[in-house]
A and B are shown apart, each in its own frame.
Chain A
């Protein structure tokens, strides 16, 4: 079973703060890593799909990096806004059947 760890579990920041979270996963047999953003009462929204070591992807104020050799990915949010409040999930692709294995997520709350 793939062990996916996300930290911190939750985070409270002020509007305008920049923040980052970590996703750790086994570095062996790496295929791809997916990041999702899930707002309460809405559908999980795909942010990034990352495949190559050293990959860096950006979407507005959100960016992510990938280190497949050491098995981690960072998600950064620059100048957090209240609308960034959500749970951020990472999911490496793996397992015996080849599926996404989700972490427990980091819950971000941005206070105005």
Chain B
């Protein structure tokens, strides 16, 4: 069974440029998550989707970040414009459901460097 797929794996951009990350979750997983991982920190949730609905986006900086999950499958996370402080690893994960015992399966992440 294919795991969570993310692209690109690495991205280097200049500040103020836009950037987008793509995620394809495990087939049949209704819940999709985007996390941000800064160096030396654990992953922090940015947004959680149940099918195509964003049910928790409280930690998403909405002035520059946006996300969508078309048809409840693939998802895209966008930053526009990027700032130096956005350099981090962006992880996507999916699970069958959102309960406390549902295992989240992670993709390899996109490492973003903003110059």
- With A99-B48, A102-B42 as contacts: A46 and B103 at CB distance below 8 Å: yes
The 6 residue pairs across chains A and B that have the minimum distance between CB atoms: A102-B42, A31-B100, A93-B100, A32-B100, A44-B106, A97-B56
Chain B, residues 84-115, CB within 8 Å of chain A (1/0): the string is 00000001000000101101111111000000
Q: Which residue numbers of A lie inside 8 Å of B, CB to CB?
A: 4, 31-32, 34, 36, 41-46, 49, 51, 89, 91, 93, 97-100, 102-105
Q: What secondary structure prevails in chain B residues at the interface with A?
A: loop
- Interface residues on chain B, number (Cβ under 8 Å): 24
B32-52 interface with A by 8 A CB criterion: 33, 40-45, 48
* Closest A residue to B45 using CB positions: A99
A103 & B103 in contact (Cβ 8 Å cutoff): no
B100 & A98 in contact (Cβ 8 Å cutoff): yes
